[in-house]
Structure formats: structure tokens, C-alpha cells
Amino acid sequence: MGRRRDSAFDDLMTLASRLPWKVGVASAVVAFIILHVIALVSSPPVATSTQTLGGGVLRQLVQVLATFLQFIVPAGFLIGATASFIKQRRSGALLDSVRSSSGRDASSLSWQEFESLVGEGFRQRGFQVTERGGAGPDGGVDLGLARGHERFLVQCKQWRAQQVGVSVVRELYGVMAAEHVAGGYVVTSGSFTKDAKEFAAGRNIELVDGKGLSALLRDGQSTVRSIDSMPAMPELTLKAPTCPKCQSPMVLRGAKKGAHVGRSFWGCLKYPKCQAIVARE
């Protein structure tokens, strides 16, 4: 028996379910307004020339499609947003369970639960989290993070492994370079090999081991600070220096172009007003 092919409506719902639910709702509203306006635009009188007649038929066809799609497309976004909201609530409950003294151990979770847990941890630190739709426990980049104008990638690899090797970090670094993101995270409940740590050193990649994961989840319990007061890429292990020019806090950023693409450095929080940088040791 052949595999059933998903319809465009199914694809739309799947896409919306991976977005933050508020984005899905906003997309539904915008889609309805645009399609509704198109559906209401009246066509000009049909002329006799072949060229004008063809243009009139095309406009009428667009109107007919918009008339139907003005309800179908928003419905797809809303269904996906509902699924996203339910998943977020479940992730929050899972996070509360892991935080509790008698709760579940992160290393005992399934890979789907582990990814949801990590995503919720970043969400409560002020990030906008988008699922990337990994196909399995080793299915590539799992989460996309956004905060302000910067984007980050997250891999939740080998959640039950004792040590994560350098190949995982190299894989993430390659995707980071291809997508020109500010930085990335590799998260595990175990630890990392020496080669993995050496490869990540000097690059804008944060290796979050079991201890760092506990800090990520624990830090989410406090009130989330405003975006402007939080580091662009919060380090779980390093202390940020003070700007040598204006004495403001510095944040860890990543070079997005040039010979040092992917490498990290400390930049002033008041950039672009203050463009001071300090090399990461």
C-alpha cells in the first residue's frame, strides 16, 4: 500500500504547529485580511480584445481562489496554533515535573520529551522557540531560537549518551555557517568529549552538559528579564566582561561574515552606539 501524501492544508497545519502559537494566530489574521481584500476587489468590465479578456479572466480566477482561501488558510494557521499551544502547555508541565524534587530525571525522557523540555527552558529565558522538525533522536538541528534580531540553532543530541562527540558539534557548526546565525547550542544530559570541547572553543557554540542543563532549567524559574537586559547569547559558564569604553555589560556575539565567521567575541550591549569588542579568551 502506497504512502499517503499530505495535502497542502496538512503541510500548512504542520508548519503552523511548529511556530510559537501567537505567531500562528497573527498569521491567521494577516492571511484573512489579505485574502479578504483580494476577494472583494471588483473586476473591471470585460473588454473585447483577446489580451484584455485574458487579463479579466485571470483576475476573476484570482478572486474566486481568494474567496475560498480566505477561510481555508486562516483555519490551517489556527488549527496549527492550537496544536502549538497545547504542546507548549505540555512542555511547561514537563518542565515543572523535572524541576520538582521528586520529579522525572531528564536522562530518562524520550527524545521527543527531551527536545520539548530544552525548548521550554530556552523559552522561559526569553527566547522565541521554533521546532525544526527533526525526524528522530539524531535528526539534525532540532530547535530554532530568536531574540531580537538574532537567531540561534539548537541540537539535542544523544540525550542518553555518556559523552557527545565532536561530529555532532561539527554538524551544528556547518548548519550555522550555512544559515548565517549568531550562534548555536548543543544540549545533552551527559557530557562532551575533549575533541568536542576543543572544536567549540573560540566558536560561537555553547556546549550544555548535564550540569548546564540543570542551570538552564533552574534559571527559568526566576522572572525572565527584558530582552535588552539579557545577553544576546547567554553563557552558562563564562562571566561577561565590562565594556572598556562605556563600562556597560558585554554580550557574547558571533561573527557572521569574513575570515572569522562563526567565531565568538564579546560586544558592547549598547551596540551600535558603542562598537567596542573584546576577544573571547
Structural domain boundaries in the chain: 8-99, 106-230
DSSP string, 137-154: TTSS--EEEEETTEEEEE
Cα(279)–Cα(223) distance, integer angstroms:
31
Residue 50 has pLDDT above 50, yes or no: yes
User: What single-letter DSSP state applies at residue 242?
Assistant: B
Q: Would you state the CATH architecture of domain 106-230? A: 3-Layer(aba) Sandwich (3.40)
pLDDT of residue 262: 54
Nearest one of 258, 274, 29 to 266, comparing CA atoms: 274
Pairing of strands 205-208, 183-187: parallel
Between 20-24, 134-138, 205-209, the lowest mean confidence (pLDDT) is in: 134-138
Better pLDDT: 103 or 36? 36
Residue 228's pLDDT band, with cuts at 50, 70 and 90, is very low
**103-127 pLDDT tens trace:** 567 777 888 888 888 998 898 888 8
Better pLDDT: 235 or 108? 108
- Whether residue 248 contacts residue 267, with contact meaning beta carbons closer than 8 Å, is answered with no
**258-280 pLDDT tens trace:** 555 556 677 777 777 888 888 76
Distance of CA 36 to the CA centre of its chain: 30
Better pLDDT: 239 or 14? 14
- Whether residue 46 contacts residue 109, with contact meaning beta carbons closer than 8 Å, is answered with no
Provide the angle, in degrees to the nearest 10, between the axes of the packed helices 50-99 and 210-219: 100
pLDDT of residue 63: 85
In the predicted model, what is the mean pLDDT of residues 241-265? Answer: 69
Q: How many CB atoms within 10 Å of residue 190?
A: 16
Which of 25-29, 63-67, 98-102 is the most confident on average? 25-29
**58-82 pLDDT tens trace:** 788 888 888 889 999 999 999 988 9
Residue 46 has pLDDT above 60, yes or no: no
pLDDT of residue 227: 32
Percent of the chain scored above 90 by pLDDT? 14
Residue 5 has pLDDT above 60, yes or no: no
pLDDT of residue 224: 36
**137-157 pLDDT tens trace:** 445 788 999 888 888 999 987
pLDDT of residue 231: 37
